[in-house]
Amino acid sequence: MLEQVHNFLLFAENSFPYLDREGLSLIWFLILAVLLTGYAILDGFDLGVGILHPFVARNDHDRRLVMNSIGPIWDGNEVWLVTFGGALFAAFPEAYATVFSGFYLALMLLLFALILRAVSLEFRGKVTSTAWRKVWDGAFFLGSFLATFLFGVAVGNMMQGVPLDPHHEYIGTFTQLLNPYSLVVGLLGVFAFALHGSIFLYLKTEGDFQQSLRPVMWKMFSVFAPLFVLVSVWTTLSVPRALETLHAYTWLWVVPVLNVLAVLNIPRAISKGIEGYAFISSSCVIAAFVVLFITALFPFLVPASNDLAHSLTILNASSSEKTLGIMLIIALIGMPCVISYSVVIYWTFRGKVKLDETSY
Amino acid sequence: MEFDLVFLSRVQFALTIMFHYLFPPLTIGMGVVLIYLGGMYLKTKDPAYKQAQKFWTRVFGLNFAIGVASGIVMEFQFGTNWATYSRFVGDVFGSALAAEGIFAFFLESGFLAVLIFGWNKVGPRMHFFSTCMVALGSIFSSVWIVVANSWQQTPAGSHIVPMTREVLNARGESTFDANGLLITEPWIIDGVPVMRAEVVDFWQMVLNPSTFYRLTHVLLGCFIMGAFFILSICAWYILKKKYVDFAERSFRGALILATISSILIALNGHRQAQNVYHYQPAKLATFEGHYESEGPADLTLFGIPDAENETVHMKVAIPGGLSFMVHDDFSFSEPVLGLDQIRPEHRPPLWIPFISWRLMIGIGTFFILLTLYSYFLLWRGTLFQTRWVMRAYCVSVVLAVIANQVGWIAAEVGRQPWIVHPPIVVDENNQPVLDEEGYLQYRKVEATLPDGTVYERYAGLSTEDGVSKAVAAEQVAASIVMFLFIYVLLGAVWIFVLNKKIQHGPDPPEEGFGESSTLGMFQLGGQHQGEGLADAGLHDEAEAKVNQGGDHA
């Protein structure tokens, strides 16, 4: 059995001789983008639901509805992040090490937020007391908000670049990461996910509670839209690299154009009462954000703001050709499995959320 | 002891991994029991199995959630606290970790949803399938992580090579030569080439010399943990005369798993220790507090180890016992390489592995005796009436936790001062080759610099060199405080909620949810909104709601 697998791997390896380290590094850059997109869309609505939680649900029944709308799926959605982390470690160990150690305190806060969110979902329903539930409601909101905000801040900093030494070590400070541009990107992230989450929640609920979410969607959009414009303008002014790639590969202009169209389609779909389309649009907006993010990075993984020659390029940061090839085979075997049972599980838990004895 | 970056990073890793490792063994061990219960229910349709399955699934879900929450920390921590290590091993270690994500985590977390929330959404067969997938996922996960860790102990299928780097111009762009080929250069900083481990043969890396023994050991340890967790709760019910039928049934099932695993782990442990001696002799010598390489080696049962004077005080030992254990030598006389042949700077700390090792073996021996004696009592028909045995089972879950933890402590502290252990130098007969001063040698690798000088380093990485360079000790100290705070809180809440679930016990064995589902409908009717309504699945809270309902009426 092992022998056959091994032979197959050898065969696969020899069938793609043109996949050298450069080609494989680029493929892995794209795979990471796919994982990040999957994470941002799927956990995006989980986090958004968490951010909205204290503001949209006024009683315990509604709060349970909100939590249970993501109950069975949030855990699987978070695995996209875990796998993204693992894949980054394996395919680009230099980038993994630079970013994770450089953003140390931010990462620790992120871990704090993710732990808080996970356990508040699990613990909240276990005790009847109002005070107990209030504590975990707060934790659920704080965890979701903080995680989203930090993701945004991290993206903002990566866009701008961070100071690196010749060993690829981060030489800035924690407060340096909290610059105005990154903070605004963080806010954009919060409202993008909150909007995405509000549409998701609308689709998963019914009756009076569902109707009470309609103004919420509008409010989220009315904050999101100006932030979107602000960040777009600010990015074109302060991150010239973002446009360079677009100029070099003009067909990529299709992404920002679709992005704008998707943003515009959200209010159209909401007012027409076709919220399913609004959800697809908000998913597309998030996907476009990820694509624009990686086009802005390309050909770097971590641009150095002090001296571009210290930057981590896709090639400098990547693993050996051998490892990238093996990992590609692992991904080609694994991803179809992942997608097929994700579909099964989403199908199992389709439809409006109902509370029963298995709910949180 | 200095509170520097290395020390603090080690403390943080120890803290977070030890907290995390409370949960995966429970999940893996209980997963096997859930498969058994689910399978028996499918076969016999006896509602008692479904009752047991539902109860243990609830406990399983709770353990799983904290395992996931504390597990993310582990995956991030290699990068945050051990960045230099990550750069060095990423090519090898990272691929095992990524395989874990894609093969294991998606499987378990996806199907966990069906396991916990799917009772009324899928049929019994699909539910059973999901149970199997969750258990399989958790086992896959242990496979990949043990593969990665075993590679650190006994590297194989990899080599350590100097890195090259593309030459960037001032604008950060790649540069190309006249033929259009990318220009790269050896990556050398201050005369030191940057080197890392790279995969040569993936399967050799996966099946490195210690993977098999260590994986078996870890899985058996998990089965013991899961089995004793269930035994402990059941023994408590039996002592309290609550849910006795349910408890005795689950007890018998878990006892089989506990007995078989306890015996197998002893046999496996013996082989594993021989494997450790073969590849990491310093580690085994530290476990045993063994200093004299000459003559027959004694097996120390008890004693006070003294690293300074290189001896064990007040020791009780079996003469020649270690010779027998290591070499299967019935003459009890073959020499065993001791710490006197390890350079002082290459010796692991003595106390922690010495004590951990003894605790683990002591607890393992106790488990074998306890489970076998229980079968004797079961045969006599008096097991469930023998109160002291039931009490012993109540507390033995703590021993199982300790055994799992100290086993890992012995393995990891015994690997020091290395984070990636370099292979030892051996001759053609696989016997260690000593240097001219009589010390064990570790393999080295060389890299030739462009100026012709040869740079030499060990074919491994020391723990000191593995830490992050971009992180300050104060930052690590701050995050330790944060983790301590969260984990103490989490641990307390976990025990509180677990206790509640145990006190509440299983629901009565019946098809469907007669009583509680009507209450669930009450709740959906929205009559009691705003009063902190309970999780309808739990019986005691259902009662609380009956009272509330009464007030309203």
State pLDDT tens for residues A271-290. Answer: 888 888 989 999 999 999 99
Higher per-residue pLDDT: B229 or A248? B229
Q: Is the pLDDT of residue A159 over 60?
A: yes
| Identity of the residue in B94, B106, B169 whose CB atom sits nearest the CB atom of A319 | B94
- Provide the chain A residues 289-318 that lie in CB contact (below 8 A) with chain B: 299-300, 303-304, 308-309, 311, 313, 315-316
Give me the pLDDT at residue B510, please.
57
CB pairs under 8 A between A and B: 314
Which of A165-179, B154-168, B180-194 is the least confident region? B180-194
Q: Is the pLDDT of residue B551 over 80?
A: no
DSSP code for B53: H
Q: Is the pLDDT of residue B409 over 90?
A: yes
Q: Is the pLDDT of residue B408 over 90?
A: yes
Phi and psi for B284 in degrees, rounded to 5?
-65, -40
User: Each residue of B109-153: pLDDT tens digit?
Assistant: 888 888 888 888 888 888 899 999 999 999 999 999 999 999 999
Give me the long-range contacts of B498-501 (CB less than 8 A, separation at least 24): B498/B59, B498/B62, B500/A126, B500/A127, B500/B540, B501/A126, B501/B58, B501/B59, B501/B62, B501/B538
Structure tokens at A13: 């390896």
B62/A contact by beta carbon, under 8 A: yes
Of B60, B7, B18, give the one whose Cα is nearest residue B488: B18
Taking a C-beta distance cutoff of 8 angstroms, is the pair B457, B445 a contact? Answer: yes
Please, what is the average pLDDT of chain B? 83
Contacts of A123 in chain B (CB under 8 A): 493, 497
Length of chain B in residues, anyone? Answer: 553
Kindly provide the b/e burial profile for residues B125-160, where b requires at least 16 CB atoms within 10 angstroms of the residue's own CB: eebbebbbbbbbbbbbbbbbbbbbbbbbbbbbbbeb
Of B476, B526, B26, give the one whose Cα is nearest residue A64: B526
Name the minimum distance, in Å, from the CA of A157 to any CA of chain B.
16
User: Each residue of B219-243: pLDDT tens digit?
Assistant: 999 999 999 999 999 999 999 888 8
Contacts of B538 in chain A (CB under 8 A): 126
* Angle in degrees, CA A108, A112, A115, rounded to 5: 135
User: Each residue of A90-149: pLDDT tens digit?
Assistant: 999 999 999 999 899 889 999 999 988 888 888 887 777 888 888 888 999 999 999 999
Give me the pLDDT at residue A93, please.
92
Rounded Cα distance between B454 and A125, Å, is 64
Q: Alpha carbon of B310 to those of A90, B9, B545: distances in Å?
A: 42, 29, 67
Structure tokens at B374: 């229980």
Contacts of B482 in chain A (CB under 8 A): 108, 112
DSSP code for A309: G
Taking a C-beta distance cutoff of 8 angstroms, is the pair A126, A268 a contact? Answer: no
Give me the pLDDT at residue A16, please.
59
Rounded Cα distance between A118 and A140, Å, is 8
State the pLDDT confidence band at A15, using cuts at 50, 70 and 90. low
Q: Is the pLDDT of residue B540 over 50?
A: no
State the pLDDT confidence band at B45, using cuts at 50, 70 and 90. confident
Taking a C-beta distance cutoff of 8 angstroms, is the pair A49, A64 a contact? Answer: no
Average pLDDT value for residue range B375-387: 88
* Angle in degrees, CA B320, B323, B328, rounded to 5: 120
Reported ipTM: the value is: 0.85
Q: Is the dihedral of CA B259, B260, B263, B268 positive or negative?
A: negative
Q: Alpha carbon of A109 to those of A145, B37, B79, B83, B478: distances in Å?
A: 12, 40, 15, 18, 11
Structure tokens at A355: 């509370």
Rounded Cα distance between B250 and B34, Å, is 11
User: Each residue of A24-83: pLDDT tens digit?
Assistant: 888 899 999 999 999 999 999 999 999 998 888 888 888 888 888 888 888 888 888 888
DSSP code for A310: G
pTM: 0.85
Contacts of A92 in chain B (CB under 8 A): 90
Higher per-residue pLDDT: B518 or B101? B101
Rounded Cα distance between B31 and B21, Å, is 16
CB hemisphere CA count around B137 (13 angstroms): 28
State the pLDDT confidence band at B481, using cuts at 50, 70 and 90. very high
Q: Is the pLDDT of residue B526 over 50?
A: no
CB atoms within 10 A of CB B304: 12
Q: Is the pLDDT of residue B180 over 90?
A: no
Name the minimum distance, in Å, from the CA of B292 to any CA of chain A.
42
A34/B contact by beta carbon, under 8 A: no
Share of chain A above pLDDT 70, in %: 96
Give me the pLDDT at residue B150, please.
94
Give me the pLDDT at residue B235, please.
92
Contacts of B91 in chain A (CB under 8 A): 90, 93, 319-320, 323
Q: Is the pLDDT of residue B553 over 50?
A: no
For residue B494, give the amino acid letter. Answer: W
Average pLDDT value for residue range B455-480: 88
Give me the pLDDT at residue A13, please.
59
B61/A contact by beta carbon, under 8 A: yes
Of A89, A117, A84, A359, give the one whose Cα is nearest residue B69: A117
Can you give B355-414 as a three-state secondary structure string?
HHHHHHHHHHHHHHHHHHHHHHHHHHCCHHHCHHHHHHHHHHHHHHHHHHHHHHHHHHHC
Q: Is the pLDDT of residue B519 over 60?
A: no
Q: Is the pLDDT of residue B412 over 60?
A: yes
CB atoms within 10 A of CB B263: 16
Give me the pLDDT at residue B548, please.
42
DSSP code for B300: E
Rounded Cα distance between B35 and B28, Å, is 11
A20/B contact by beta carbon, under 8 A: no
CB hemisphere CA count around B99 (13 angstroms): 26
Q: Is the pLDDT of residue B542 over 50?
A: no
Cβ pair B95:A61 closer than 8 A: no
Kindly provide the b/e burial profile for residues A12-30, where b requires at least 16 CB atoms within 10 angstroms of the residue's own CB: ebeeeeebebeebbbbbbe
Name the minimum distance, in Å, from the CA of A300 to any CA of chain B.
9
Share of chain A above pLDDT 90, in %: 32
The helix or strand, by DSSP H or E, that contains position A147, with its residue range, turns out to be: helix A130-160
| Identity of the residue in A92, A128, A348 whose CB atom sits nearest the CB atom of B532 | A128
